[in-house]
Amino acid sequence: MEKKKVLLCVSGGIAVFKAAALTSKLVQNGYDVKVMMTSSAQQFVTPLTFQALSRDRVYTNTFEEKDPAKIAHIDVADWADLVVIAPATANIIGKLANGIADDMITTTLLATRAPVMVAPAMNVNMYAHPAVLRNMQTLEGYGYTFVEPNEGYLACGYEGKGRMTEPEDLIEMIDYHFTKLAYKNWNGKKVLVTAGATREKVDPVRFFTNRSTGKMGYAIANEAAKRGAEVILISGQTSLTPPHGVRVINVQSAEEMYEAVMRAFPDQDIVIKSAAVADYKPKMTFEQKMKKQEGPWKIEMERTKDILKELGEKRTKQILIGFAAESENIEKYARKKLESKKVDMIAANSISSPGSGFEGDTNEVILFKRTGDSVTIPMSTKTEVAKILLDEALTFQKGSIE
């Protein structure tokens, strides 16, 4: 994407130090940043700090016009691709909700036509006050996007919701905003992704599972959401943080995965099954822990439902993509799965190749298509693999996805 312009409006509060970190991270991520500060914000951190971090002048005074050819607050209002208010105090939120323009930030905000993202930061009781809630609802009605504060220990000594969102999370949301604009053909697309490992219970202590961490599926869900798709992520066991903008449904067993997928499937445009679902489960389970005994313990196993095969038989308009983690004869087994499951693509990879497969952050994949051709994705990060996979999914010629 071309370099995007972000206007960061900083109002007064102890969270101003986070705004300084956010400025630095925005610049590091390739954004062009201008900073505005209220007089209260300057009591916590000086404009010089933000000037050094943004590598640009800091705007503090409506009446300070350094260029006589321009009206500063109008010029900056027109310049911005996105306005971020962080931290946003109850005071600044109240002013904007009621059309008050009595300083540099409020006059600029009323003049801009750029999208506005608001990161509140205040005492927990202030955040819950009816007047503040009403003002936030008013601004949401104007199209402002609010980033909910975190819960935790506050500078005032209270504990609760009111801590400004961390700079890393705000960067993710800003990236998401611009990526979504860049991929307009994904807006409104409905994508279902499965990820992670299932657990098949033996007793309250023991279960059968596999080495899948869910990293590939989470990378696909994250990238699809960034592009503006409506994403459902049905996740087995994993320690990963859910991607922003994704609806996550957590499951444990193959049966739970089956039920969740089947409920969501009919409305989807693209379905990508990257979860490592158990092929077998114990035929008998125990409600109490099985005690150690003399001699071997034999556990009879039975097949679980073949989710991908059933999707292939039931699908109507959906693009359907499966994964095949193989240790040998990759193409042979992948093409066999492509045919037997009636899917559009199989993403196959070797679990025995260094850097490919479970647990790592990289993958090497071959996409086998039902049209007969294939696409090789060389060793890349799982995020890069996800991008190519989604590009191929969208361009696959079928029905309403064309």
Q: Which residues are catalytic?
A: 156
Cis peptide before 282 (omega within 30 of 0): no
Q: In what order do the strands lie in the sheet with 5-10?
A: 58-59, 32-37, 5-10, 82-88, 116-120, 145-146
**β-strand pairing of 280-282 with 301-303:** antiparallel
Distance of CA 332 to the CA centre of its chain: 35
Read out DSSP for 90-112? HHHHHHHHTT---SHHHHHHHH-
Q: Report d(CA 233, CA 244) in Å as an integer.
A: 11
- Residue given tokens 């409905």 in the structure block: 190
Burial class of 383 by CB neighbour count within 10 A (0 to 12, 13 to 18, 19+): middle
Token duo for residue 392? 């191929």
How many whole angstroms separate alpha carbon 214 and alpha carbon 195? 5
Q: How far is CA 56 from CA 64, 250, 330, 342, in A?
A: 16, 45, 54, 57
Candidates 30, 344, 383, 394; CA nearest to 184 is 394
**How many residues does the structure list for the chain?**
402
Q: CA 211 to CA 222: how far, in whole Å?
A: 21
Question: At residue 5, what is the residue type?
Answer: K
How is residue 182 written in tokens?
């860049």
Q: What token pair was written down for 116? A: 């506005």
